[in-house]
């Protein structure tokens, strides 16, 4: 879908929202890949995390599209936040954007970085897309319906098929962060006997659980809401869940937190239909 000045959509129309998200993610992926194939210049933000022109260019494109099509709906995006641009007042609905999740993988020449766009309603990630431009893996979700999308070499959509989480397999397959493993994550994994471990970067971890390729994604350590919202939307739409250490669903739009920044997540575990995974 090409975004233009005449395009408008209601924020209550999930299919229209997804059409916009999908079009913007594909456009952003083209921009990212142009930079990926050239020499990548890396800077560092105040928290010492890397940032590139691909992050910024992708975010500009996505935010311009969202603000044009959905005027008045607040947008919270990683690079604007890092640049000190104050997040808008949030209503019941707002967008979360991670224009390039997995910048470390991107800089290192690895392929599993993603574009992530999500709509939050009442603290719940309900609509989202996750697009991995290197591999062409593309996931799209609205409440109760998650899909994997097949693309051709020109990035035209060839087809879609519905995905869902699986019943827990023996051994359980655990997906874990490639760049952000912590001792707490390793301790959790050790509680699961004979588990198969798959390391992968970015929000694709949620999607592997959502499509039934894995069973559990534990994340102990800091993430931000834009890191997780789109993948979490795909997982929940596919029948999975994401819970915090108190057993409650991970919520979005967290501000004025004691001892933590706005939009920072606590530790969580994302699962399919698993009965044998340990608690915390």
Residue 4 confidence (pLDDT): 40
Q: Within 10 A of 1 (CB to CB), how many other CB atoms are there? A: 17
Binding site listing for Mg(2+): 78, 98, 100-101, 227
- Residue 8: pLDDT band with limits 50, 70, 90: low
Residue with tokens 């834009």: 226
Mean residue pLDDT across the chain: 89
Tokens of 136: 């062409």
Instruction: Give tens-digit pLDDT for 37-60.
Output: 887 777 877 776 878 889 999 999
Cα–Cα distance for residue pair 127/229, rounded to 1 Å: 9
CATH classification of 173-271, choosing from 3.40.640.10, 1.10.274.10, 3.40.190.80, 3.30.360.10?
A: 3.40.190.80
Which residues have C-beta within 8 Å of that of residue 239, sequence separation ≥ 6?
Answer: 164, 165, 272, 273
Residue 68 confidence (pLDDT): 97
* Mean pLDDT on 196-219: 89
Q: Which CATH class is domain 14-163?
A: alpha beta
pTM of the model: 0.90
Find out whether 115 and 35 touch, Cβ atoms under 8 Å. Answer: no
Tokens of 178: 């490639």
Same fold, 14-163 and 173-271: no
Instruction: Give tens-digit pLDDT for 170-189.
Output: 788 889 876 667 788 888 88
Binding site listing: 78, 98, 100-103, 227
Q: CB-hemisphere CA count at 13 Å for 121?
A: 11
Binding site listing for substrate: 78, 100-103, 227
Query: In the chain, where are the structural domains located?
Result: 14-163, 173-271
Which residues have C-beta within 8 Å of that of residue 186, sequence separation ≥ 6?
Answer: none
Q: Which of 5-9, 38-42, 188-192 has the highest mean pLDDT?
A: 188-192
SS3 117: strand
């Amino acid at each position: 879908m090409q975004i233009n000045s005449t395009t408008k959509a209601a924020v209550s129309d999930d299919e229209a929202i997804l059409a916009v998200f999908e079009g913007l993610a594909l456009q952003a992926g083209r921009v990212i890949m142009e930079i990926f194939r050239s020499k990548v210049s890396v800077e560092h933000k105040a928290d010492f995390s890397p940032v590139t022109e691909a992050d910024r260019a992708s975010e500009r494109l996505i935010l311009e599209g969202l603000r044009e099509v959905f005027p008045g709906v607040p947008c919270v995006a990683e690079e604007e936040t890092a640049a000190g641009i104050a997040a808008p007042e949030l209503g019941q609905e707002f967008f979360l954007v991670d224009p390039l999740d997995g910048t470390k993988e991107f800089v290192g020449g690895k392929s599993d970085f993603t574009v992530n766009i999500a709509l939050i309603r009442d603290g719940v990630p309900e609509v989202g897309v996750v697009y991995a431009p290197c591999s062409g893996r593309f996931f799209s979700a609205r409440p109760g319906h998650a899909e994997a999308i097949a693309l051709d070499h020109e990035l035209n959509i060839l087809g879609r098929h519905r995905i869902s989480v699986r019943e827990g397999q023996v051994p359980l397959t655990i997906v874990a962060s490639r760049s952000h493993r912590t001792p707490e994550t390793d301790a959790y994994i050790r509680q699961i006997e004979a588990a198969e471990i798959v390391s992968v970067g970015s929000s694709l971890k949620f999607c592997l659980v959502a499509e039934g390729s894995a069973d559990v994604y534990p994340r102990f350590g800091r993430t931000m809401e834009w890191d997780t919202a789109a993948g979490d939307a795909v997982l929940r739409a596919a029948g999975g869940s994401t819970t915090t250490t108190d057993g409650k669903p991970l919520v979005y739009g967290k501000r004025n937190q004691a001892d933590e920044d706005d939009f920072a997540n606590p530790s969580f575990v994302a699962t399919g239909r698993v009965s044998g995974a340990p608690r915390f």
